[in-house]
Amino acid sequence: MNSLDELKAKITTCHACYLRKHYDKPVPFICGDNPEVMFIGEAPGADEVEKGKPFVGRSGKMLQTAIRMSGLTFDQIFVTNIICCRPLNNVFPDDNEPILACRPWIDAQIQLVKPKIIVAVGGQAHRHFRGSAEGITKACGNWQLYTLEGDYQVWYMPTLHPSFCLRGGDPNSTNAVMKLDSKGKEALLRAHIATIPNKLKELVK
């Protein structure tokens, strides 16, 4: 694969798994002119399918606000999902077929863009990269240096998915993040994303 345009054409004509049977077309990535930071979410929803872009619905607006408040510009970002077609009934598939079938697309995006930073948005994206060792509410906000292919290293941070932030908290939970109400979770998401510009500055030192 030589270019992002070629890759986008291949994704939008992909029929490699059963999810494609139910919707018109997959939702490919969006890419700024200087994509240093790659945000990788879980899967598109109805708004994303309609607009043909990831993170444009209510969740997307929350993520966009957090990015804008951090001082990052939209030229600096690349946004995609680990699954490019909308899951049935908006429920992330519990079998591995779509994840495995879509994996070459995410790998190709990373190889072509070679971002300086990858942000996994939500537990499913975090599991895609780091396995099931640590849940998102424990791992979120923690930076790790991650070797992807050969000697290509990238800074990696998982954060909360905005759709999780839109839900209320559980005051009885023993997990500090699960206890937070919607505003508290959104504040945490913003705080995580606010650390990205400093991480970029460290990389140029």
- From the list 106, 82, 77, the residue with the least C-alpha distance to 96 is 82
For residue 120, list its beta bridge partners: 40, 158
Confirm or reject binding of residue 83 to ligand SF4 (CB under 6 A).
yes
Q: Which of 40, 72, 79, 101 binds ligand SF4 (CB under 6 A)?
A: 101
- As given in the structure block, the two tokens for residue 203 are 């990389």
Least Cβ distance, residue 81 to ligand SF4 (angstroms): 9
By CB under 6 A, is residue 10 in contact with ligand SF4? no
Amino acid, single-letter form, for residue 145: L
Strand-pair category, 77-81 with 117-121: unpaired
CB 83 within 8 A of CB 99: yes
Q: How far is CA 30 from CA 51, 52, 113, in A?
A: 12, 10, 12
Q: Does 20 bind ligand SF4 (CB under 6 A)?
A: yes
Cβ distance to ligand SF4 smaller for residue 14 or 140: 14
Q: Is position 15 an interface residue for ligand SF4 (rule: CB under 6 A)?
A: yes
Does residue 22 bind ligand SF4 (CB under 6 A)?
no
Residue (92 or 146) nearer to ligand SF4, CB:
92
Task: Answer yes or no whether residue 45 interacts with ligand SF4 by CB under 6 A.
Answer: no
Helix (H) or strand (E) holding 14, with range, is: none
Residue 27 within binding range of ligand SF4, rule CB under 6 A? no
Query: Can you tell me which of 4, 8, 10, 16 binds ligand SF4, judged by CB under 6 A?
Result: 16
> Quick check: 82 binds ligand SF4 (CB under 6 A)?
no
99 binds ligand SF4 (CB under 6 A): no
Q: Indicate the burial class of 95 (C-beta count within 10 angstroms; 0-12, 13-18, 19 or more).
A: exposed
Q: What residues make contact with ligand SF4 under the rule CB under 6 A?
A: 11, 14-17, 19-20, 26, 83-85, 98, 101-102
